[in-house]
Amino acid sequence: MMNNFSLTEINEKISERSKFLVDLKKSMSSIISGQSELINKLIIAILADGHILLEGLPGLAKTLMVKTLSNLIKTDFQRIQFTPDMLPADLLGTLVYNQKTGEFDIRKGPIFSNIILADEINRSPAKVQSALLEAMQERQITIGEETFLLDKPFLVMATQNPIEQEGTYPLPEAQVDRFLFKLIVNYPSLDSERIILRQNTKSNKIEDTEAIISKSKIIDAQKVIEEIYVDEKVEDYILNLIFATREPSNNGLEDLAGIIDFGASPRATINLVRAAKARAFTENRGYITPEDIRNIGADVLRHRIILSYEAEAEELTSEDVIERLFEVVEVP
């Protein structure tokens, strides 16, 4: 158990290192209306040192959101438009022959940045998707015989069109597993869209945004987040949720026995803890609660639970399965 002294100490650190969050959320909300939940999840992802896969139709401010975040954090930002004719070298970089020296020079690709918007990732062939996802996992790139470490913080926000759209290459399940979150972007409410309408008939304010946070503040926050306390009962809750996806019949979910083909991997367990710690940090808390797990649970699990053909026949989605999980698995 954690003693009071150390809990007080971690709370003080969080209180000191999380001051920038209020200004960050306020500045982002002043530019992006109607997507407050998405803004929160984006901030949690960068604090948890994870990546995001966004699924939604075009025109829902995905690009604006990431560009605003990179402007406010004083980081390098790259938007990479994925296309069917793209090559891994277009993303990572390549060796270029220098006629003057007679040697090959390294030309780095757009992946060498802090915040990357990988737009329409499912429009590119598998070898390009694989190159990006490997860079995300390893945090390093090899060009020729040289290996380069990527700068911190490093956040990839990949967008994909719903699979029903033509000309898309679905991401393999094993690769999707490398994203911390998969978020579904929906249309804003009527009131939010009214605000968007009024804002965007005036000048676009993104050019006016100035950096209010240094990269070092994000890195410092990530170090503090690692120290956030996880009680054994909360660990049990996380493990029970994960094991319920693998063995539903043994966990009071007999109705899901033929519905789930593959349950969540150990990477899901790790990411639930990482994301819950980052969420506790945003709430100014030195420990995680079941509420943190419930808040980020669907976003961590929705792309990690593979459903059977039977589920498709019954028109069940991973959302339905996750909802059932949280209903049945006992909260400590």
3-state secondary structure 148-214: EECCCCCEEEEEECCCCCCCCCCCCHHHHCCCCEEEECCCCCHHHHHHHHHHHCCCCHHHHCCCCCC
Bridge partners, residue 105, by sequence:
96
Query: What pLDDT shows up at residue 5?
Result: 46
Query: What pLDDT shows up at residue 301?
Result: 93
Spatial contact of 156 and 113, defined as CB atoms under 8 Å apart: no
Dihedral of the alpha carbons of 209, 214, 215, 219, in degrees to the nearest 10: -130
pTM for the complete prediction?
A: 0.87
* Cβ atoms < 10 Å from Cβ of 65: 21
Beta-strand relationship, 103-108 and 93-98: antiparallel
Cα distance between residue 4 and residue 270, in whole Å:
26
Query: Please, what are the domains in the chain?
Result: 4-221 (3.40.50.300), 228-328 (1.10.8.80)
Q: Which two tokens stand for residue 133?
A: 């996802």
Query: What pLDDT shows up at residue 205?
Result: 58
Query: What pLDDT shows up at residue 190?
Result: 79
- Provide the residue type at 133 as one letter: L
Spatial contact of 153 and 219, defined as CB atoms under 8 Å apart: yes
79 in helix, strand or coil?
Answer: strand
By CB atoms closer than 10 A (0-12, 13-18, 19+), residue 238 is: buried
Distances from the Cα of 285 to the Cα of 3, 10, 158, 213, 229, angstroms? 15, 8, 30, 21, 9
Cα distance between residue 252 and residue 330, in whole Å:
10
Spatial contact of 182 and 176, defined as CB atoms under 8 Å apart: yes
- Provide the residue type at 125 as one letter: P
Spatial contact of 84 and 47, defined as CB atoms under 8 Å apart: no
Distances from the Cα of 156 to the Cα of 32, 139, 150, angstroms? 19, 11, 12
Spatial contact of 222 and 47, defined as CB atoms under 8 Å apart: yes
Instruction: Reply yes or no: is the peptide bond before residue 153 cis, omega within 30 of 0.
Output: yes
Which of the residues in the chain have pLDDT under 50? 5
